[in-house]
Amino acid sequence: MSATLVSSDGWYPGGWRARPARQMPVYGDQSALRSVEQRLSGAATVVGTAEAMRLRAAMAELAEGRGFLLQGGDCAESFDDPVAEQVASIVGLFDRMADRLRPSLNGPLIEIARIAGQFAKPRSAMAETHEGITLPAYRGDIVNGADFDVHSREPDPQRMIRAHMQSVGTAASLAAARDWGRPIYTSHEALLLPYEEALTRRDGTGRWWASSGHMLWLGDRTRQLDGAHVEYLRGIENVVGVKCGPTLGTDELMRLVDRLDPANQAGKLVLIGRFGARRIGEALPPLLRAGKREGRKLVWIIDPMHGNTISGKRKVRRIPDILAEVDAFFAIARAENLHGAGIHLEMSGLDVTECLGGRGPASIDELERNWQTACDPRLNRTQAIDLAAHVADLLA
């Protein structure tokens, strides 16, 4: 690595390779992987640096206690998604939710979609077994296929090329659907590091930016302080999210914050709670107090989806549990005299039947009626709009 490409603190885009990397696929053809990485390193950016800088500036207001972040979209994008229809659907949903939220806000509404890069998925198990046959787990279309056969489940680096091409088209369609006076930014989990490294670009001042999305987040399964994902994310200038689950302690959180944002920049870090309705009451307050005690300029939002998932034949998420965690989050933030700055949802602009309750399926048997997600259950259009109205009432 040339010294000219290394930051003053020793960071460079490929530095993660010297660290233990969890949730990463094992590619059988390393030469094919290197060829894809080289091709992507010279490919078009998915988003521009100026737009990512604009999001950083907007996030600073949230850190100061003004405004609200609405983040949401698909659990995982698919290569089969019709891009134009998908973008129109999510933009329409954001518009309807924004209409409910804006009258209750004391500042700007920032909108960020899980789109144009949300192709990789972390897995609890590395393999799946059906009828005595064991194959690698499905890790998202950027890694392998969902069909349960040997060919589909083999990790294929060429899939990164297709994911990049679709992401470029999706981001362009999203920008065309909204003018930059009221943008919808893009975001995804920074999980597949060869892809992220190849799309990292340096600006004219020597700072590094992820050009794969405006905001990237660190998953609850990959937040090891000495791990590859933390090492990569600490060096980029983009807004960085950190998923905070119930096993995250205050000491670990503060070490992560120090590692990812040593300069304590307002709005640089978005902490995304995902505790579950039963555990948020004990897990969240110590974390809020630790950040406040250290004088950290953090943005706290709530993901009421991932901590309220019951696994079985179908994963089940219930609207009462989702609402209970949302209610608890804003009540706890208010009690701690901190700004509850937003919500992070898995949601669809379609009338899917994936979450129980509200204006959705009333029983588990009804989930089959229009279950379309590749991984986790999403709120349907009416459930998402109703949740936005519920949050608006809490804020008012």
**How much is the average pLDDT of 380-386?**
97
pLDDT digits (tens, 9 = 90+) for 290-310: 999 999 999 999 999 999 988
The pLDDT mean for the chain works out to: 95
Q: Range with the lowest mean pLDDT among 3-12, 84-93, 140-149?
A: 3-12
Q: What is the pLDDT of residue 5?
A: 72
Which of 283, 392, 287 shows the shortest CA–CA distance to 328? Answer: 283
- Determine the pLDDT at residue 235: 98
Query: Are the C-beta atoms of 211 and 201 separated by less than 8 Å?
Result: yes
Rounded distance, CA 371 to CA 356, Å?
12
H/E run at residue 301? strand 299-302
Across 255-266, average pLDDT:
98
The pLDDT of residue 274: 98
Question: What average pLDDT does this structure show over 178-204?
Answer: 95
pTM of the model: 0.96
Please, are residues 157 and 32 in contact by the beta-carbon 8 Å criterion? Answer: yes
Any idea where the domains of the chain sit in the sequence?
49-123+180-395
Contact 7, 208 (CB under 8 A): yes
pLDDT at 3 over 50: no
Q: Which residue has the higher pLDDT, 2 or 349?
A: 349
| Residue in the structure block whose two tokens are 């020793």 | 10
Give the confidence band of 2 by pLDDT, cuts at 50, 70, 90.
very low
Asked if 83 and 170 count as a contact pair (C-beta separation under 8 A), the reply is: yes
What is the widest separation between alpha-carbon atoms in the chain? 60
Q: What is the DSSP string of 75-104?
A: SS--TT--HHHHHHHHHHHHHHHHHHHGGG
Are 160 and 142 a contacting pair, CB within 8 Å? yes
List the one residue out of 196, 256, 199, 210 whose CA is nearest residue 16: 196
Question: 49-123+180-395 has which fold?
Answer: TIM Barrel (3.20.20)
Least confident of 176-180, 255-259, 343-347: 176-180
Percent of the chain exceeding pLDDT 90 equals: 89
For the cut 80, the answer to whether the pLDDT of residue 248 exceeds it is yes
Q: How far apart are CA 4 and CA 208, in angstroms?
A: 12
